Every structure is written in C-alpha cells, then in structure tokens.
C-alpha cells in the first residue's frame, strides 16, 4: 500500500507521513500540489492526503488532475479554518473525505487506519457478478467495528459490472461511513463529542469495549437489505439504536451545518448516492445509486 502526503507545512507533512507509515503505508511527501502531481504520476499511491490551500498548485487543482487520470486512489482533503468553503467544491471535484485542522488531526489516525483496512480488503473483483440482472440479499452483523470494512467490501462487490471502478470506490466509502454510523452512533450510542474526547485521550478502544460490554447494547445488530436491478442498486441500513433528529439535516449542500464533525458521513453520502433518505426515528437510512444512462445517439441527418 502506498500513500502520498501533500502539505506545505513541514511539521504537519512529517506528522501525516508518520501516521500513514504506522498504518502500513509506504509514504512519500510533497511540499506543494505541483510536486505532488509529479510524484503521483510515478508513485501511483492508493491514498492521497492533501491540504486544500497551498502555494504553486491549489489542492483543488491537484484532486481534479488526479481524477483526470482516472485514478481510483482514495483522496482525503485537509482544510483549515479559512478554507472550509472549499470542502464542498473538493468533494464535487472527486475527493472522498475531509478533515479540519487543527482539531481534526486527532481523527487522522483512525481514518488512515480504516482506509488501510479497506485497501487490503479490495481483493480480486468477481466480474461474473456483472452478469446478474436482479438480486436481493439481507446481511445482519454484530455491532463490531472490525466487521464493517468486510461487510462494505462484500456489498460493493455485489454491484460489480454496473459501475466503474472509481464509482465503486465511492460507493464503498459511502457504505462504509453509513455502517460506521449505524454501529458507532446508533447501536453503541457513542456521541461525536464523546468520541472526540476519547480520541484526544487515547481512550477510544476503551470506550468501544465499554459500550460493547454494556448488556443493554451488546446484543444490538445492524441489518442491511441490498437490492439490485438493471436500473441501479439500493441499500437499506437499519440499526437498533435510539436514532436522531434527521429532520434537522440541511436540505441542500449549500446550507450551514454539514461541516460539523458528526455530519461527515451524511455529507459524503449526499455526494456518493443519487438518493439519501432517513426514516422512522433516524435509525433507518435508504440510499440508492442509479446506473448512468448512456445517451441515445441521434439518427444521422
């Protein structure tokens, strides 16, 4: 596995490199987007961690160039307090996730580790699945975070042949975020502020183990219903938690509120899927990805 760190601040660049290396990546660094793009062409990384505002070449231009090559690398954008408005634009350009600095640095290690797990689990694609024209499956699993990557990978492989490799990567990451939310915030009832404090104190594993040992939470499951037909794929994800006030979610991407730490999974879902719908008390989410329509050629005049 290979990671490319593009950051103009030397101390942060080295910090990101050490985090990636500790997660098992062969990591290289660049001090600006132009140098990063040159390294990208030869290094062909699986993961790119890139600052948005940099000299010489803006991070947005870098992610556009990366996607212009047709790369399926996972791209995480780092945004400062003065560049939050660029997050929506970066996701539209093809970034897969984002972190805010400096407070978001505590989230970098678990994010890099989860992407390392995803990359290891990509495995060989079973192209024969692409011949299936209709399918429905139901999966149910315990509230264990170590199962999420494997479940997300299996659900993504179910739609091989319907979407491009880059689209499947986005689907994979979107499903992963929704499953994490179902386990973590839903069944285990771990709040966003509570998680942030545990991360800062190095007590996140202790917090998870404590919740999984709680007899009122231990038996909770996550259920996923998957539907496939020639028009697209749909996922219905249900947890057994208390839910949340989904009516407070901003209706459009331009509204304030999406960039809060606990809104990241919902924001990413809006970019990945064509339909995102929360139901019941907020413990059910339905997402759908439609098969891109090939334009019908005009008859010759």
Radius of gyration over every alpha carbon of the chain, rounded to an integer in angstroms: 19
pLDDT at res. 295: 46
pLDDT mean across residues, the chain: 83
Higher pLDDT, residue 296 or 142: 142
CATH number at residue 64: 3.40.50.2300
Instruction: Specify the CATH number for the domain of residue 151.
Output: 3.30.565.10
The predicted-structure confidence for 146-192, as pLDDT tens digits, reads as follows 899 889 988 988 887 788 888 888 899 899 989 999 999 999 998 87
298: in domain: no
Of 131 and 257, the one with more pLDDT? 131
Q: How confident is the model at residue 142 (pLDDT cuts 50, 70, 90)?
A: very high
Average pLDDT (67-89) is 80
Q: Confidence band (pLDDT; 50, 70, 90) for 263? A: low
What crossing angle do the helices spanning 105-120 and 10-22 adopt, rounded to 10°? 40
Q: From 120, 138, 169, give the residue that closes a domain.
A: 120
With a cut of 90, say whether residue 286 has pLDDT above it.
Answer: yes
Structure confidence at residue 70 as a pLDDT band (50, 70, 90) = confident
Least confident of 38-42, 85-89, 136-140, 288-292: 85-89
Q: What is the pLDDT of residue 270?
A: 83
In a shared domain, residues 59 and 164:
no
Looking at residue 32, the DSSP 8-state letter turns out to be: S
Return the ∠ at Cα 44 (arms to 149 and 271), rounded to 5°: 50
Residue 258 pLDDT > 70: no
Domain match, 211 and 187 both: yes
Phi/psi at 39 (5° precision): -65, -40
pLDDT of residue 27: 92
pLDDT at 5 over 50: yes
Residue 299 lies in a domain: no
Clarify whether residues 32 and 171 are in a common domain. no
Residue 255 is given by DSSP the state S
Residues 6+ apart with CB under 8 A from 146: none
Boundary-marking domain end, from 103, 120, 137: 120
Residue 151 domain flag:
yes
Residue 74 in domain = yes
> What are 203-240's pLDDT values in tens digits?
888 898 999 899 999 899 999 999 998 889 999 999 99
Q: Output 116 or 103, whichever has higher pLDDT.
A: 116
Residues 28 and 132 grouped into a single domain: no
Beta pairing, strands 2-6 & 47-51: parallel
Residues 175 and 144 both lie in one domain:
yes
Closest CA to 71 of 94, 51, 90: 94
pLDDT at res. 275: 93
**Residues 185, 114 share a domain:** no
Structural domain for 132, as ranges: 128-290
70 shares its domain with 216: no
- Count of domains in the chain? 2
Identify the domain boundary among 68, 87, 120.
Answer: 120
- Supply the pLDDT for residue 234: 95
Q: Could you tell me what percent of the chain has a pLDDT over 90?
A: 31
């Amino acid at each position: 596995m290979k990671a490319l760190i593009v950051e103009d601040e030397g101390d942060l660049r080295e910090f990101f490199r050490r985090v990636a290396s500790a997660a098992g990546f062969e990591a290289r660094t660049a001090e600006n987007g132009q140098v990063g793009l040159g390294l990208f062409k030869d290094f062909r990384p699986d993961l790119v961690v890139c600052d948005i505002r940099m000299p010489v070449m803006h991070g947005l231009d870098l992610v556009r160039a990366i996607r212009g090559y047709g790369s399926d690398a996972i791209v995480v954008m780092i945004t400062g307090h003065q560049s939050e408005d660029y997050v929506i634009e970066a996701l539209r350009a093809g970034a897969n996730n984002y972190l805010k600095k400096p407070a978001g640095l505590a989230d970098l290690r678990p994010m890099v580790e989860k992407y390392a797990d995803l990359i290891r689990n990509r495995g060989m694609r079973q192209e024969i699945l692409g011949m299936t024209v209709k399918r429905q499956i139901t999966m149910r699993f315990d509230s264990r975070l170590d199962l999420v990557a494997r479940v997300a990978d299996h659900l993504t492989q179910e739609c091989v042949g319907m979407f491009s490799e880059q689209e499947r990567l986005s689907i994979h990451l979107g499903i992963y975020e929704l499953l994490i939310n179902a386990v973590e915030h839903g069944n285990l009832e771990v709040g966003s502020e509570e998680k942030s404090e545990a991360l800062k104190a190095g007590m996140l594993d202790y917090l998870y183990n404590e919740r999984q040992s709680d007899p009122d939470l231990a038996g909770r499951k996550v259920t996923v219903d998957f539907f496939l037909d020639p028009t697209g794929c749909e996922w219905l994800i249900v947890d057994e938690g208390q839910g949340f006030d989904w009516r407070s979610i901003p209706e459009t991407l331009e509204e304030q509120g999406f960039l809060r730490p606990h809104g990241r999974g919902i924001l990413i879902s809006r970019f990945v899927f064509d339909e995102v719908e929360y139901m019941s008390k907020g413990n059910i989410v339905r997402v759908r990805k439609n098969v891109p329509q090939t334009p019908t050629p005009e008859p010759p005049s």
